Structure 1
């Protein structure tokens, strides 16, 4: 999956999440995906390649960075709690969607219960 495909899949997944919205920032170009005003995903182009930046549980983030060559520490974010995903051979559509939903759930879980559009403990986990 190349970087543009990565961003398309991640963006398509993110905009379908309950309560999610997209905000464009320019100079440099950033797409911020938010739920209840809190960012759960960012997209930008690092020199030469598009990336997606996602929130991740610190333990999961460490495992993802070890397992996938195309997952690194969060670009311009807290390196323990955010990951950067680049297009590459180790990344597929299913993984991208799982990472986007996990990031969304982590952010929703930090919101006051009255502001949560879904239950972060059950949303997207299947029956």
Structure 2
């Protein structure tokens, strides 16, 4: 998935916003309550990836099944994953949706 497609997926989630707290090159996606659910690698990165929130048990299973998925870069390694954008689109969409669900305000 390309970074612009990924951006559309993130912003398509209920209440999601995009901000740039780390500078103009690194988009951060937040739920309506201001909690982060996705952090993109910088544009032009030779291996574009996104860091996403995950339930610890799910994260462990995903890392075991997909060697390219690693503990979250600069984040709590138990609760965050760094996922390359070249994983299957369906998997990436599911992971982003779950990350958003984990941090989004409950209705």
TM-score category by the smaller chain? Answer: 0.7 to 0.9
Give the secondary structure class of the aligned counterpart of 2:41.
strand
Q: Kindly indicate whether residue 12 of structure 2 is the aligned counterpart of residue 16 of structure 1.
A: yes
Question: What is the correspondence of 1:26-105 to structure 2 with a 5 Å cutoff?
Answer: 26=23, 29-35=25-31, 36-45=33-42, 48-88=46-86, 91-105=87-101
C-alpha distance in 1 between matches for 2:61 and 2:100: 19
Ranges in structure 1 where 5+ consecutive residues have no aligned partner: 120-127
C-alpha distance in 2 between matches for 1:87 and 1:17: 18
C-alpha distance in 2 between matches for 1:8 and 1:85: 16
Return the TM-score normalized by structure 2: 0.86
Give the secondary structure class of the aligned counterpart of 1:30.
coil
Return the TM-score normalized by structure 1: 0.73
Do the aligned partners of 2:56 and 2:78 also contact (CA within 8 Å) in 1?
Answer: yes
**Greater Rg, structure 1 or structure 2?**
1
What corresponds to 1:123 in structure 2?
none
C-alpha distance in 1 between matches for 2:94 and 2:55: 13
Aligned residues: 104
